[in-house]
Amino acid sequence: MIKNIKKEVGNKINSKIKNKIIVKTKEKKPAESLKPEKENVLSQQNKELVSQKKSKLLGKTIEKLDNNEVDKTKKKNIILKKSKRGERAGTGISGFDTMVEKGFERESINLIAGGSGSGKSIFALQFLMEGVKKGEKVLYITFEEKKDEFYENMKKFGWDLAKAENSGKFIFLEYSPEKVKMMLDEGGGTIESIVFKNNIERMVIDSITSFSLLFDDELSKRQANLGLFSIIRNWNCTTLLTVQYDPLDKRDKEISSIEFEVDSITLLYFVSIKNKRERFIEVLKMRGTNHSKEIHLFEISRGGIKVGKKAESREMS
């Protein structure tokens, strides 16, 4: 009986998510259907419209932003925001950018997968701080890290998050997986208004594993992730999602349900070799990119992550 009720509620949530996907697809159409020659003529007008809209919104706090306004802004941003697709977002990770043609493709969704302590959060932060260095606004959404402790730890890598936050370039959002689920039901909610109001260019969700844990079966997990990706795609940010995954464990199916939905997958290994743990990095896929097919050694030290030479085949066996 309880099982049936659970199933029924699950189906309702799933159909809600499906509806959201359909609505989003409809919203995206006008931007995609613009002819290239029209796009050029429109881009100048669009720039002006966007900057007018932005200056109107800047005086308001996120909480005070009323929903209609967010909706209108959302549509305008989707249609008017000049796409940076085709450009690269450098990570600032020495040795990594050369593996992937100078960085992640702008506005793509990328998975950073690895076991506990493999360096996912540090990788993600380094990517965000590179954006800050370039004058971009970035958003870090975490379910796992506590702000004060996290800021303190990141100082060791030379990243002053408090300073970046005060300058308005870095936004730290401690979020519960339940709130993200709510965001899905609302079709974007508060996070979306933060992204549009601040014109966020880079975003990290650390990690989607905690979010996936809210769903008990593979189908609802997959549908929830699809709903999440569908919403994120409208935001035109370059996004990194971290995920807890053991690349050496063939039974670990954590990324199998989403591997086709993301634009790239980077694996971080932390393996024991001759009584010592070594770190390795591998780009499993990156759409539209002639990426390195080698597994490289990397280290975490004062400046963050540094990717080194390719691993000898015996090192990974």
The footprint of Mg ion (CB under 5 A) covers 120-121
Q: Does 212 bind ligand ATP (CB under 6 A)?
A: no
Show Cβ contacts of residue 258 under 8 Å, excluding neighbours closer than 6 positions. Answer: 111, 222, 225, 229
Residue 146 binding result from ligand ATP, Mg ion, none, given CB thresholds of 5 to 8 Å by partner type: none
Select 111 or 300, whichever has its Cβ closest to ligand ATP. 300
Which CB, 50 or 112, lies closer to ligand ATP? 112
Give the SS3 label for residue 181: helix
Tokens of 105: 């493709």
Residue 272 sits in the site that holds ligand ATP (CB under 6 A): no
Q: Which helix (H) or strand (E) holds 244?
A: strand 238-244
Pick 110 or 121: Cβ nearer Mg ion? 121
Which two structure tokens, joined as six digits, stand for 21? 């996907």
Query: Could you give the string, one character per residue 216-245, with x where binding to ligand ATP holds by CB under 6 A and - elsewhere?
Result: ----------------------------x-
CA distance 222 to 219: 5
Q: Quick one: residue 219, left, alpha or beta (phi over 0 = left, psi -120 to 50 = alpha)?
A: alpha
Question: Does residue 142 bind ligand ATP (CB under 6 A)?
Answer: no
Say whether residue 304 binds ligand ATP (CB under 6 A). Answer: no
Question: What kind and span of H or E run contains 47?
Answer: helix 36-58
Q: Which of residues 78-117 bind ligand ATP (CB under 6 A)?
A: 114, 116-117
Residues contacting ligand ATP: total by CB under 6 A: 13
Burial 115-137 (b: 16+ CB within 10 A, else e): beebbbbbbbbbbbbbbbeeebb
Across-strand partners of 278?
271
Q: Minimum distance between the CB of residue 144 and ligand ATP, rounded to whole angstroms?
A: 6
**Which position among 156, 163, 253, 293 is part of the footprint of ligand ATP (CB under 6 A)?**
156
The residue (of 80 and 243) whose beta carbon lies closer to ligand ATP is 243
Which of 73, 108, 110, 121 binds ligand ATP (CB under 6 A)? It is: 121
Residue pair 40/162 in contact (Cβ under 8 Å)? The answer is no
Determine, following the binding rule CB under 6 A, whether residue 155 of this chain makes contact with ligand ATP: no
Q: Convert 189-217 to b/e letters by CB count within 10 Å (16 or more is b).
A: bbbbbbbbbbebbbbbbbbbbbbbeebee
Nearest CB to Mg ion, comparing residues 77 and 121: 121
Q: Using the rule CB under 6 A, which residue among 92, 103, 119, 131 binds ligand ATP?
A: 119
CB of 130 vs ligand ATP, minimal distance in Å: 16
Q: Which residues bind ligand ATP (CB under 6 A)?
A: 114, 116-122, 144, 156, 244, 300-301
